[in-house]
Amino acid sequence: MERGQQMNIKIEFYDVVIVGGGPAGLSAALVLGRSKRKILLIDENKPRHAVTAESHGFLTRDGIKPKEFKKIAKDQVSTYKNVKHKNDCVINVVKSEGFFETETLKGAKYHSRKILFATGIIDQLPRIIGLSEVYGRSAFPCPYCDGWEVKDQPLAVIGNSERIFEYTRSVHNWSPNLILFTNGSANLSLENKRDLVRHNIKVKETKIKQIISNNGMLKRIQLENGTIISRAAAFIEGIKETQSCKIPEKLGCKIDGNGAYITKQNGLSEVPGLYIIGDAKNLFSGLIKSASEGYCAGVSINSEIIREDW
């Protein structure tokens, strides 16, 4: 089916354009492909987990390398010939009467009945010298994803948001050999501080000068007062996240105070026909939840199309 013309070039028409080829987008593409829908998945191939060596917690795929996971997923989705994949970057989307027009960096335009954004977010690390060298290798945001691999080792928690006490208490589950580095005056009540000390968790409020590492593996944390403390790994709390794609906002989607897109059930936004799933709406989903959201959104979108065509 073709709709519209641009300079005598026919614009391809799809049931759904999916923006983003991570676990959420690929999962949605799989469900919609199996629902006999004509699907276009556009992926810029700039994943949030690019620095991650292994992914954990996904049943049957625990410990898999992210690139390998994506290859398996793409290979399975590609068996459905009604699903097309483009390596490109979406730069603009316009909602017209009855369809969305998607424009890409390579100059292509596509029309679709529905559009699904699974574009993820961008992590903004604290400005600490040496942190970027260890992030994803021996410094992580999620203990449930990477805690087992460093269990019972000398660990650090680096952070100081209003959630720092709960976060530190969680990390303590994986190792009692734990030090909290707040990189400035601790955002802790006196009761919280005493509670941490009672569990043998030291609190270092002196600012961090640098993280010392070897080939991505954290070795020591140096404070501005000259103190050097050996640690094997770190968990980073309070990482600021920004949306990697602002197009939904331009189309009328709202963002909450934490920077996440606000959606209804199964990712449906306030803009009819526009869905948002994965980290873009959760800030952190994890591999298995992102894939689950893709499945649920795919079912929801297909059901919506069925009702419209009935």
User: 2, 11 in Cβ contact below 8 A?
Assistant: yes
**Mean pLDDT across 144-161:** 97
The DSSP 8-state label assigned to residue 6 in this structure reads: E
Percent of the chain residues topping a pLDDT of 70: 96
pLDDT in tens, 72-87: 999 999 999 999 999 9
- Region 40-65: mean pLDDT is 86
Residues 2-122+240-309, CATH architecture:
3-Layer(bba) Sandwich (3.50)
DSSP string, 176-214: S-EEEE-SSS----HHHHHHHHHTT-EEE-SPEEEEEEE
Give residue 280's pLDDT: 95
Q: Which of 47-56, 62-71, 212-221, 282-291 is most confident?
A: 212-221
Of 297, 303, 307, 301, give the one whose Cα is nearest residue 112: 301
Phi, psi of 296, deg, nearest 5: -65, -40
Predicted confidence (pLDDT) per residue in 274-288, tens digit: 999 999 999 888 889
The answer to whether the CB of 172 falls within 8 A of the CB of 250 is: no
Three-state SS for 43?
Answer: strand
Could you confirm whether domain 126-236 is CATH 3.40.640.10? no
Q: Supply the pLDDT for residue 8.
A: 52
Q: 238-266: b or e for each residue (b if 16 or more CB lie within 10 Å)? A: ebebebbbebbeebebeeeeeebbebeeb
Cα 94 to Cα 100: distance, rounded to the nearest angstrom: 6
pLDDT of residue 244 exceeding 50, the answer is yes
Report pLDDT for 285. 80
Predicted local distance difference test score (pLDDT) of residue 47: 76
Dihedral angle at the C-alpha atoms of 86, 103, 283, 235, nearest 10 degrees? 60
Is 100's pLDDT higher than 80? Answer: yes
Mean predicted confidence (pLDDT) in 284-294 = 91
Return the structure tokens found at 245: 């794609």
Which of 48-52, 150-154, 246-250 is predicted with the least confidence, judged by mean pLDDT? 48-52
Predicted local distance difference test score (pLDDT) of residue 6? 46
Q: Is the pLDDT confidence value at 147 over 70?
A: yes
Give the whole-angstrom CA distance, residue 218 versus residue 233: 6
For residue 48, is pLDDT > 80?
A: no
Is residue 241 within 8 Å of residue 233, measured between CB atoms? Answer: no
What's the chain's average pLDDT?
94
Q: Is the pLDDT reported for residue 5 higher than 70?
A: no
Whether residue 7 is predicted with pLDDT greater than 90 in this model: the reply is no
Q: What is the pLDDT of residue 4?
A: 46
The pLDDT of 34-42, averaged and rounded, is 99
- Give the pTM: 0.91
Phi/psi class of residue 137: alpha, beta or left (left: φ > 0; alpha: ψ in -120 to 50)? alpha
Q: Is the predicted pLDDT of residue 175 greater than 80, yes or no?
A: yes
Of the candidates 304, 308, 301, the one whose C-alpha atom is nearest the C-alpha of residue 115 is 301
Whether the pLDDT of residue 89 is over 90: the answer is yes
Q: What is the mean pLDDT of residues 206-227?
A: 98
| Residue range(s) in the chain whose domain bears CATH number 3.50.50.60 | 2-122+240-309, 126-236
Average pLDDT over residues 231-245: 95
Band of pLDDT at residue 9, cut at 50, 70 and 90 = low
Tell whether the torsion through CA atoms of 21, 292, 162 and 220 is positive or negative: negative
